[in-house]
Chains A and B, each alone.
Chain A
């Protein structure tokens, strides 16, 4: 028995580690939302394991150690095998609109990644089923393992590339297999299999097959097809895989929004790809600003025409292009904020000579921080806050980012930025121009909302918007634009053949002159959004352009159902680019999860005999289903809520996820104690747990904004410890209902335990997808409130379950 707890911990750590690792690897080889889709479905392995155990319970129970050990070994093997095979499936997400074969490939990917999770879940589910007396302790080790696994894999990814991190991770279930194999009756064959697998690993056979095969349609693959191009360096971290490419024969020339009228060409550049896409460039610079003359002719240069020697804050410094832009225009000082330390290192150290030691310039200070967190903590004011292009046009174009939360472009963000802008200073945001406009107009709507909330009576007087053929640059002034400003904006645009889309006093004749669109979309849109009928315009617009907020931070979500039939019908006439894919993928994922779950769980459930008291199946089934939903709803919403406080999405995932799992594990370990106390006082422990959860969650909804505001200036370790302390009581309470339910099942209907495990796993899969969908539509606060309602219903259901004594007698 002693071996079971560490073995459970290891398998559980391996499973969550594998999930996060796959997410990372699939984000590199495919695109983020397909990674999300594939993994959601693969997690159905949890649900299926419950079905499997229920079907073969007598056989498995008789050989528990051997079954656990075999499951763990197979988990270890398939982690590697399925990863390698998955790389060989020629799935092309971009072709799905045209080619039905792609759906078959996608299904094959589901199937492949499903297998390892199935084996992992079999081990844990078996432990619950066969060692019923220790349920709360097993659940504790399961959650502790998951919490540690999340931290471990994030740590590993800082030092290893994903495929090497996988080789470390697969040793966890292998050790679990060895541990559980020792007392097993099938020790010899098991040992043989373990030894063979170890020998293969030591021989390096699987390692050679694990290389990431990036989609040939991603930017990195395309760049490497070019004659004589080569990879100079690769750096990996949980924040992304950064690849630097040099192309001597056909040089990289990255200058979005460059004027048609310019005579200047960018100097030699190195292309920097994040996760094999999202290009950023490091530009060769030898202190000769003449070589950077092209920077005067891009739309993002507009704010500098209004400022003299400004103090600049660059948010999202990337390869340093916007820092060069500021220096080229004579900035007095530049604070450059970049999220990824490895990106900063490239410009400051690895390619410092190439980049002209630009980060060593006395005027430049580099900060490795998340942009919003930096602004929130900074007391400095700037003449210009500059947000350049942070994503690639390709990603922007295909709706690939629609599921990504972004706290850069929300109403609250704009207010924060303007709060750090000096009187008369500017906020400048450049975006890719999609046609018909989506993000550019959503940004205008978001900014107008922010200004109105700040008490600005006529926001239009503080806005200016210009566009090139592929970019738009929005200026927001802290104060009204003067006649002189407007004249400078007009001259800047005219000289570079850029079109003005808005400035105070603009007329229709001032728009759509150089790069003519079918309609002056941006001018008409901005005029409408500044008018009294803005809400009506947003409603009638065929893409979703209502402002993004911190509670609904989906700036890249443009999908509207009503538009779908029209754009689908237009796809063969060249309208495929109008389809917003990301959201559809999310819906498809949810539907697939529901259908696959029914096939894997409910259909088999109906086929086997139900050896438990009346009402148990329905009530208990619903109870575990609801717990699966509620736990993840709260967990996912809190990960989002803590992103701004912890200044980093990764810190938030690591701290909140592991915090929730570990403290929920402790709650689980304490659950028996609570059950005993409640039994003595004839109280329902689940009602008490749900009450605690509701109380804490509601308290946090009100208090967290104040706590965050008060303590955001503290150092990273202090904020991490504070976050853990805040999460601890809530997570502790959330760890109670599941083992209490299992314990009840163990005493009244032991045959139901595998079902409880399977149904809970199934709900967890759906809830992850559903939480995102609900947050997109209604916001994270709604997700939390809904979770509390779900907990309340679960608690009520628990009280309706057959009482122990009588039902034990019935069994």
Chain B
């Protein structure tokens, strides 16, 4: 019995130490992101808010990536999560979250749950997150992981994100985690006037731009497309 207790104690100490390591790694990652956020905008005002950064510092990314990728969980890079899908680069997640500019009581739709990481980041900032995934195995895994981590304000389902989630619409913001050939018209319909939708454009592992759609109070759609980085395509111009 004593031996068992000793083993349990040893394992829990190890686990705690492990968790401590992850916490430190996460803090270091956020510090790195903060550096880019300030650097990129080249101005006094940072590109990513403190609230979003706090959320990045809270969510346990290592709990949402496959075990084989855990040691890279707090590196600022995309990781494979199986089934041909990826968990986005943390800096891109932070930028996307920032771009939809959410408030504490907002209701947000996510199309493409994937690992659940983006939903978890949003859940720290808004009232409710509704998330749809089309790959059955990922939908099940993300649901279990998010429940295990105690996120009560994330509701997930398996299904076709093209038509949004009518019963919970309209949404203050929509995040689509991978670009398709076009922006589904039903999603634009389910966006509240004044709402925002963000979509990363590009190959997996290599985001090119972020597409931001804003619906005006009159219902018109204006979009903006930003490079994730400041890059001037002509030499000699800044």
Contact = CB atoms under 8 A, between A and B. Distances in A.
B interface, by DSSP: helix, strand, loop or mixed?
mixed
Interface string B122-160: 000000000000111000000000000000000000111
Contacts of B54: none
A574 B89 contact: yes
B203 A94 contact: yes
Interface in B37-94: 39-40, 72, 76-78, 80, 82-85, 89, 91-92
Interface string A604-621: 000000000000000000
Contact of B181 (A255, A521, A578): A255
A470 B206 contact: no
B23 to A, nearest CB: 22
Contacts of A216: 82-84
A562 interface: yes
A161 interface: no
A97 B203 CA distance: 13
A702 interface: no
The 6 closest A-B pairs by CB, nearest first: A574-B228, A577-B208, A258-B182, A216-B84, A436-B233, A575-B229
A577 B207 contact: yes
B225 interface: yes
Given A516-B222, A566-B231, A576-B207, 4 more contacts: A258-B183, A435-B225, A518-B225, A577-B206
B183 A260 contact: yes
Contacts of A393: 179, 181
Contact of A574 (B91, B134, B204, B213): B91
A233 B5 CA distance: 60
A499 to B, nearest CB: 10
Contact of B185 (A99, A262, A497): A262
Given A227-B134, A397-B206, A572-B91, A518 B229 contact: no
Contact of B134 (A250, A397, A469, A576): A250
Nearest to A545: B233
Interface string B170-191: 0000000001111111101000
Given A226-B134, A518-B227, A572 B213 contact: no
B225 A572 contact: no
Contacts of B236: 540
Given A97-B205, A572-B36, A574-B91, A265 B185 contact: yes
A469 B231 contact: no
B228 A575 contact: yes
Contact of B224 (A250, A516, A541, A562): A516
A350 B205 CA distance: 36
A264 B186 CA distance: 10
Given A262-B185, A562-B235, A573-B40, A97 B206 contact: yes
Contacts of B179: 393, 470
18 contacts: A94-B203, A98-B205, A99-B77, A222-B84, A225-B83, A226-B134, A250-B134, A258-B182, A397-B208, A436-B233, A518-B225, A542-B231, A542-B235, A572-B36, A573-B228, A577-B202, A578-B208, A578-B227
Contact of B80 (A95, A258, A514): A95
A675 B213 CA distance: 76
Contacts of B168: none
A469 B39 CA distance: 27
A24 interface: no
A263 B189 CA distance: 9
Contacts of A190: none
Given A216-B83, A249-B160, A435 B206 contact: no
B10 interface: no
Nearest to B224: A516
Contact of B229 (A227, A515, A573): A573
Contacts of A251: 160, 162
Given A497-B221, A518-B226, A575 B231 contact: yes
A254 B202 contact: no
A252 to B, nearest CB: 10
Contacts of A227: 134-136, 158-159
B200 to A, nearest CB: 9
A94 B204 contact: yes
Given A95-B80, A573-B36, A577-B207, A514 B229 contact: no
Nearest to B36: A573
A253 interface: yes
Contacts of B95: 574
A476 to B, nearest CB: 24
A435 B209 contact: yes
Contacts of A264: 185
Contact of A517 (B39, B77, B91, B225): B225
Interface of A: 92, 94-95, 97-99, 216-218, 221-222, 225-227, 249-251, 253-258, 260-265, 393-394, 397-398, 434-437, 469-470, 497, 514-518, 521, 537, 540-543, 562, 566-567, 570, 572-579
B135 A257 contact: no
A258 B204 CA distance: 22
B51 to A, nearest CB: 20
B47 to A, nearest CB: 10
A515 B182 contact: no
B211 interface: yes
B84 A578 contact: no
B201 interface: yes
A391 to B, nearest CB: 13
A515 B223 contact: yes
A94 B208 contact: no
Contacts of B185: 262-265
A99 B68 CA distance: 13
Contacts of A397: 202-203, 206, 208
B1 interface: no
Given A94-B205, A98-B205, A227-B135, A469 B235 contact: no
A264 B235 CA distance: 42
A393 to B, nearest CB: 8
A435 B202 CA distance: 10
A540 B228 CA distance: 22
A253 B226 contact: no
Contacts of B159: 227, 250
Given A398-B203, A577-B207, A254 B181 contact: yes
A774 B32 CA distance: 41
Given A225-B135, A226-B134, A573-B228, A469 B206 contact: no
A519 to B, nearest CB: 8
Contacts of B6: none
B208 A258 contact: no
A94 B225 CA distance: 23
Given A254-B181, A260-B188, A540-B234, A516 B206 contact: no
Contacts of A521: 233
A570 B230 CA distance: 9
B201 A470 contact: yes
A225 B84 contact: yes
A578 B76 CA distance: 17
A397 B224 CA distance: 19
Contacts of B40: 573
Contact of A572 (B76, B135, B208): B76
Q: Which of B40, B85, B180 has the most CB of A within 10 A?
A: B180
Given A397-B202, A570-B231, A253 B162 contact: yes
B225 A516 contact: yes
Given A573-B40, A573-B228, A514 B222 contact: yes
Contacts of A99: 72, 77
A131 to B, nearest CB: 52
Contact of B208 (A97, A249, A435): A435
A265 B92 CA distance: 30
Contacts of A260: 183, 188, 213, 221, 223
Contacts of A218: 84
B180 A253 contact: yes
Given A261-B221, A577-B203, A570 B229 contact: yes
Nearest to B186: A265
